[in-house]
Structure 1
Amino acid sequence: MWRFNYFFIFLLFPIFCFSQSTYSLKSDVYLITSANDSKSKEWANYTYNQFEQQSLEKNIIYSTSVENASYKDAKKNNGIYLVLDPNLAYDYCIEKTSTKISLKVKNEKTSKWIINQLLAVLSKTDHRFSSHNLLPAIIDFKTDCINFDFSYREPHFYYNLQKNNAAILNTNNVETDWGLWGHNLHKIITKKPPTLYAEVNHKRLPQQFCFSSVSLYQQTLNYIVNNYGNGKKVTYRFMIMPNDNKLVCTCKHCLSLGNTTSNATPAVTYFIKKLAERFPNHHFFTSAYLTTKTPPKEKLTKNIGVMISTIELPKGIALNEQQTPSRNFIKQVNAWKEKTENIYLWDYAANFDDYLTPIPVLYALQEQLRFFKKFAIKGVFLNANGYDYASFDDLKTFISAALMLNTEVNIDNLIKAFFQKEYPENHALLTNYYLSLEKNFKAKRKKYPLYGGIREILNTYLDATAFTQFYKDLEKIIPKTTGNEKEKLKKLFTALSYTRLQIGYALEDKPLGFLIKNNTQTTIKPRTKQWLASLKAYKNYPELKNYKEADGALPVYCEAWETNLLNTPYKNFLINTKIELLSEADESFKTTRLLNNGILGFASDYHQGWYINSIGNMVLKFTTLTLQQAKTIKLRFLMHEKHKFYPPKKIELYIDDVLKESKLKENLIIENGVAIYTINLNFSGTENVKLKFIQKELGKSSIACDEIQIF
């Protein structure tokens, strides 16, 4: 049976000052009292310690143990009290009268959060309290009873993962709230009998599990018992997902449960139900993904839920029920709602190919969270930069956490309050730039790419001119800034130096570019080395090691700049010659400029300088009338098996429409992930050249060429 725990915080108000339904919480002294049960005393001690830590003056905070004249006088006054009631119908309630404000909360987590909210509000009027480690309050203590819009709230930014921040923000955290997360079931397995694995076409395959396996169940059970107990003291969540592939076990037992060659839901559900029955105080989640996309036939128990991905929904714009992706999403949610009330979303708030370039996600996030709320979604895991630093990471964590509590918060006001609090010396610069990012992007009504390079970024959410001015302004103010704010801005500037390099790379020889073109030769502008030197300060920040989710190591990126672009002038007789595409083009590659812009691509990143063709054989043609002295063609192709980039299996070279050369893959040289073909040829007396790149016969393979160099 639930036990009622009451704890009261009495704050003394000799005079109450009302102004537009709010008033000052300032008092001469503050008395903290609690009921006699252990839980209440524990929370009273916590609150007393919090007030003491924030207090700049002695003898203004009292607890029940302080039996003196001030305490006795304090008891005669009305004030504020808080009640902790696990059976409260709301997450918190505020009741205000002319002499008293009453706070009731449902759980200890919200108790800690609301105390921080109280101290943040109090410090604004009572300057005897410091607010140096408090974020701005998002509630105003008006009379109301509130349920948070989502019960599970995780903004998966770096800032949220730092110690104590989840408690301050009232958010969740994969490191503390989950005993098992993602596709990590394999990590808890120690014994590996053959029957542990899926039977596919009468063979046991270690790439997938058999979810009717007795060994798999027993090992999972032991892992939970040994590491997380039965859940009576602390409740944890466990994600039970098949490995990330489309293999399904079709052993005799799994087939009897209902498995098919493409649907693992029956066996996975059987497995989860056994765990949920064994651990009624823990919560277990499946996923609507690949082989478990189909809901089970039976109703699930109260401690079982599902995680649904929103990856098919456009990001950066408001959702409505008329959009095809939205209709499909609603249909999926409704199908699962028939089986469980516990529907969590795996949502997104980042460009996973560029963490460091500022991306405006907050306005659209508010719109989309409102949309999700309409369909009674219980929880949101907002996937972002996670364990890596991102520009404005702290701001986005704060605002997205507030939005998950209340989708109707005023974003602009909170942005201003956050920068005023966290960056007091330079809040105006930061506020103006970030708000302009959000407002300008919203006006475009475009979705942003979840995986996009700098050219897509410049076409959607980033204004190169505005960013460059902000970058310059930031560089100027950092030397004048002091303390922790200076350190935070130095880290931000380091990250933004990546963006400055990217803009320079994309804009080539334009005013904001990095390049100087002189007929058939290119060199770099001197300031490019300054941007790179600024980025290399990433070495000072352990969390600033990657610029994207996968294969984004900054040391590799910096080395590519130094190796490919900074060392020597680059010559290519083809730079000013038009290259005609005779075959079909991919959507983002209608022009062939990347093939002779004088800039080599980065082997570590297919967004960086590569002209991509995924449709079929690629055919190019260009005049040789200005190339009469040339003797050599050099072609570079990206090799990246993970993303299915391969060099052509064959290259045909035609001069004046006559086949002259046919190069096979055996003729290439491979250097650091780049395949290089070199063709020696006399261009004297010729009129044109046609190149035909014949693609490998592999499913969804692509050709990526960065430069056709002629010299």
Structure 2
Amino acid sequence: MKKLFLFFLLIKALQMQAQTPKSILLFSEKKTDYVISISASGSPYEKTAMEIIQHYFNSVSGISLQDGGGKFTIQLKEVGDRLSPESFTIKNKGNNILMEGNKKGLVYGAYSLVEEIFGCRNFAPGEKPYCPALLRLEIPLPLKIGEKPAFRFREVYSMAETDREYMDWHKLHNLEDLWGIWGHSFGRLVPESLFKTHPEYFAFYNGERHSTQLCLSNEDVFEISVKNLDEAFKENPDAKYWSVSPNDNSGFCECPLCSSSNLKDGGNQGSLLKFVNRIAKHFPDRTFTTLAYNATARPPLVTRPEKNVIIFLSNVEIARTFPVDKEASAKAFRRNLEGWSAKTHRIFIWDYYTQFTNFLAPFPNYFTFQPNFKYYQHKKAAGVFAQLNGPEYGDFAELKTYLLSKLLWNPTLDSDQLTEDFLIGYYGDAAPFVKSYMNKLYGFAVAAGTNLDIYGNPVNNYRDFLTPENLDELSIIMDRAHEAVETQAVFSKRIEKLRLSMDYTYLQQAKFYGTRKHGIFTKNGGNWEIRDGFADRVNRFVQQAELFGIKELSEGGISPKEYGEQWQMIFTTGVRDNLALNSEVQFEFPFAPEFPANGVKTLTDGTPGYSDFSFNWLCFYGKPMIATIDLGKMTEIKEVEINFLEDIRHRILRPQNVKLEYSLDGEKYTAAGLDQLSPPEEEYTVKKIKKLFKNLNFEARYLRVTAENQPALPEFIFSKNREPMLACDEIWVN
């Protein structure tokens, strides 16, 4: 009897297996048995998800997916907190498909269905998604897709933020949707305008009050902050986060009460976190973020964040060549993350993925994305703000935005496969060459020991991974990429856009080389001329940059049009006569090694500096510039011109005074002129300060120029640990 029962069970199981479909046919030859349905009440998320699926179903099949009357159903259901936040599932029940999601998770699920089942791709913000035209779509069973985010906050600050569908497709957040007050917020909490009447609200150091930061132990500062926050809550009641964070400068308060807090907690993070905690306790139903950045990056020794406080930890100081878990310069950041993690798991990471000073500069950091996010996930970080170049275009912007977006949602995805998928879909037949270019560029950086610096410059990389020889090799690869797609307009334009990085690097480095090989000018029969084809190359770069909609070449920087105008000035000025050209120079105090320019030859190489201090300028921290020039023989001197840079934002200031002396023998010097300069003002336009000693009438072999640095940084850019910097590009003698 028992054997007979088992026999019937086996027969039943085989019958059920035979009835279970191995796949479902979603459509074939412009016919479908499927309809789509949502609940009777139809939540906003259900309606949006339905519209998404209907639109892309039509794109791939050429037919409409109706909301009733079919044989089988794609059912969409918002299930609230039955699933974790933003998560979703997609599964089959026989031939029916059920998609469930927690609020916005249902929208994310719709886009995952469109991508993973329909085969569509959204490669780049502002561009139309790609969808294949299919005659038939069969889905293997069982259908089981279930996803939830690796991080609860995910933002890629890039061109993505100009395209709402791209952000939803790739499951990204936007700070403007989440924060009522974002970033450096002390100025919002207690306006700087109160400084004149209430200096006691602000930081005390060097014996007096300054408006750089707040005095966090002042009771009125707390009360004013609470009042202003309460008003902000009413204006934006749906905001999820509120930032209570220092201003973006140093100059923290050192009054006795603030100093006592800082002493107990090992730094400025002490008084800051106590202040943030107090506000968090006052508003227990609100969530606050605070920046652990520069002077507040280290975890406090004693104080712990309240449960409604999130620590926003920055790694602004590290190089980007290697992942953060291996990068040598990230040691302090790793230690800070470990320390904060011991106190709270409510940590967001503020990470950086572009070169802010040169958006178009080659910056091959794409192989660090996945290991970085895996590391943050392992350390239980709750969110990541991955900062690219905002709405502006930068090097490999489309690929970087795509990879960062995908991996922020799920760091375990196959990064190589994601890259391959993108390159083939976005660059077509040029994909193998673009991949070769990527690998070669990163290989050059690693082999040369390059520290990829978010505030670097491709000019200074002429010494390591962007040598003329390497640029030539990379250019050949890009030529082949273009040849592979030159008859395909869409792909061809994308390669031209990608190549702007090489063109920009070539032009920038030419400013450094000047009259030397690879420079702007060449000598022809005793006259300096612009190299053949160079002006055309500048014009072509400007035209293409404008054609591709590029507005800024750096953070807060100039436009392509202004860049072209700068080049026209360079061409018009040409090469100046200079009796000191190629003369030997000696310095009493060394120049800053991180800005070596052309070394000791910089001041007499005939190549002027431009608005960017990081090349063609010799810089001196705190100390005066005392430069002695050996003209090689007795020379009649009528005029001496010295140019200095003033870039207030980067704390580069005009000198206090400039003194000119001359000598016949290099031992005994005679004064030829002394000029006292006016103090620097709070004006952030980068400009040259020219000091001209004219109507001179002496003969000398040696000239000595002494430029005294400012004694201290002015109040408006004060930094306790920074000294004024002086920058000089050339000494012109006639």
TM-score (norm 2): 0.77
User: Deviation of residue 144 (structure 1)?
Assistant: 7.0
**Aligned AA for 1:523?**
E
Matches within 5 A, 1:88-99: 88=83, 92=87
**Aligned AA for 1:482?**
A
Quick check: 1:534 aligned with 2:540?
A: yes
Quick check: 1:600 aligned with 2:608?
A: yes
**Residues 139-178 of structure 1 deviation map (CA, whole Å, 9 limit, x = unaligned):** x998575553322222212334433322122112222222
Quick check: 1:221 aligned with 2:230?
A: yes
**Residues 426-484 of structure 1 deviation map (CA, whole Å, 9 limit, x = unaligned):** 5455444334323443454532112112332334553422444466668889985535x
Selected match of 1:390 from 388, 394, 398? 394
Selected match of 1:120 from 95, 109, 115? 115
**Aligned AA for 1:646?**
R
Counterpart in 2 of 1:5?
none
User: Deviation of residue 497 (structure 1)?
Assistant: 4.2
Matches within 5 A, 1:189-228: 194=198, 197-198=201-202, 200=204, 206-209=211-214, 212=219, 213-227=222-236
Distance of 1:200 and 1:583 partners within structure 2: 33
User: Deviation of residue 305 (structure 1)?
Assistant: 0.6
Selected match of 1:47 from 35, 46, 49? 49
**Residues 242-267 of structure 1 deviation map (CA, whole Å, 9 limit, x = unaligned):** 33344556899989988999647446
Distance of 2:54 and 2:400 partners within structure 1: 30
Counterpart in 2 of 1:4?
none
Selected match of 2:81 from 83, 86, 90? 86
Q: Greater shift after overlay, 117-126 or 446-455?
A: 117-126
Identity value in percent: 18
Whether the 8 Å CA contact 1:617–1:692 is kept in 2: the answer is no
Matches within 5 A, 1:339-378: 339-378=343-382
Task: Give the 3 Å change call, closer, same or farther, for CA 34–528 of structure 1 in structure 2.
Answer: same
User: Deviation of residue 285 (structure 1)?
Assistant: 0.5
Q: Greater shift after overlay, 201-210 or 177-186?
A: 201-210
Selected match of 1:645 from 650, 653, 656? 653
Whether the 8 Å CA contact 1:509–1:515 is kept in 2: the answer is yes
Distance of 1:14 and 1:444 partners within structure 2: 60
Counterpart in 1 of 2:175?
174
**Aligned AA for 2:702?**
V
Whether the 8 Å CA contact 1:521–1:569 is kept in 2: the answer is no
CA RMSD of aligned residues (A): 4.5
Distance of 2:260 and 2:627 partners within structure 1: 57
Quick check: 1:305 aligned with 2:307?
A: no
Task: Give the 3 Å change call, closer, same or farther, for CA 366–267 of structure 1 in structure 2.
Answer: closer
| Count of aligned pairs between the two proteins | 665
Counterpart in 2 of 1:709?
732
For the residue of structure 2 that corresponds to 1:637, the secondary structure is strand
Task: Give the 3 Å change call, closer, same or farther, for CA 554–125 of structure 1 in structure 2.
Answer: closer
For the residue of structure 1 that corresponds to 2:72, the secondary structure is helix
Quick check: 1:663 aligned with 2:670?
A: no
Task: Give the 3 Å change call, closer, same or farther, for CA 599–324 of structure 1 in structure 2.
Answer: closer
Distance of 1:108 and 1:277 partners within structure 2: 30
**Residues 167-200 of structure 1 deviation map (CA, whole Å, 9 limit, x = unaligned):** 1221122222222111245347789684993374
Task: Give the 3 Å change call, closer, same or farther, for CA 351–523 of structure 1 in structure 2.
Answer: same
Counterpart in 1 of 2:321?
316
Quick check: 1:456 aligned with 2:463?
A: no
User: Deviation of residue 575 (structure 1)?
Assistant: 3.6
User: Deviation of residue 297 (structure 1)?
Assistant: 4.5
Whether the 8 Å CA contact 1:263–1:291 is kept in 2: the answer is yes
Distance of 2:25 and 2:453 partners within structure 1: 46
**Residues 513-558 of structure 1 deviation map (CA, whole Å, 9 limit, x = unaligned):** 3221469863321322113212433784696232222454545443
Matches within 5 A, 1:9-408: 16=22, 29=32, 30-39=34-43, 42-54=44-56, 55-56=58-59, 57=61, 59-63=63-67, 66-67=68-69, 71=70, 73-74=71-72, 84-88=79-83, 92=87, 107-124=102-119, 133-134=128-129, 146-187=147-188, 194=198, 197-198=201-202, 200=204, 206-209=211-214, 212=219, 213-227=222-236, 229=237, 231=238, 236-247=240-251, 263=268, 265-266=270-271, 269-271=274-276, 273-275=278-280, 278=283, 280=285, 282-289=286-293, 292-293=296-297, 294-295=299-300, 297-320=302-325, 326-408=330-412
Whether the 8 Å CA contact 1:652–1:663 is kept in 2: the answer is yes
Q: Which stretches in structure 2 are left out of the alignment for 5+ residues?
A: 1-18, 133-139, 681-685, 713-722
User: Deviation of residue 396 (structure 1)?
Assistant: 0.8
User: Deviation of residue 205 (structure 1)?
Assistant: 5.6
Distance of 1:302 and 1:365 partners within structure 2: 30
Task: Give the 3 Å change call, closer, same or farther, for CA 120–487 of structure 1 in structure 2.
Answer: same
Task: Give the 3 Å change call, closer, same or farther, for CA 104–301 of structure 1 in structure 2.
Answer: farther
Q: Which stretches in structure 1 are left out of the alignment for 5+ residues?
A: 1-12, 18-22
Matches within 5 A, 1:403-552: 403-424=407-428, 426-462=430-466, 463-469=470-476, 480-482=487-489, 497-509=503-515, 512-517=518-523, 522-537=528-543, 540=546, 544-552=550-558
User: Deviation of residue 399 (structure 1)?
Assistant: 0.8
Task: Give the 3 Å change call, closer, same or farther, for CA 365–532 of structure 1 in structure 2.
Answer: same
Distance of 1:660 and 1:357 partners within structure 2: 47
Q: Greater shift after overlay, 618-627 or 415-424?
A: 618-627
Distance of 2:585 and 2:257 partners within structure 1: 61
For the residue of structure 2 that corresponds to 1:221, the secondary structure is helix
User: Deviation of residue 363 (structure 1)?
Assistant: 0.7
User: Deviation of residue 507 (structure 1)?
Assistant: 3.9
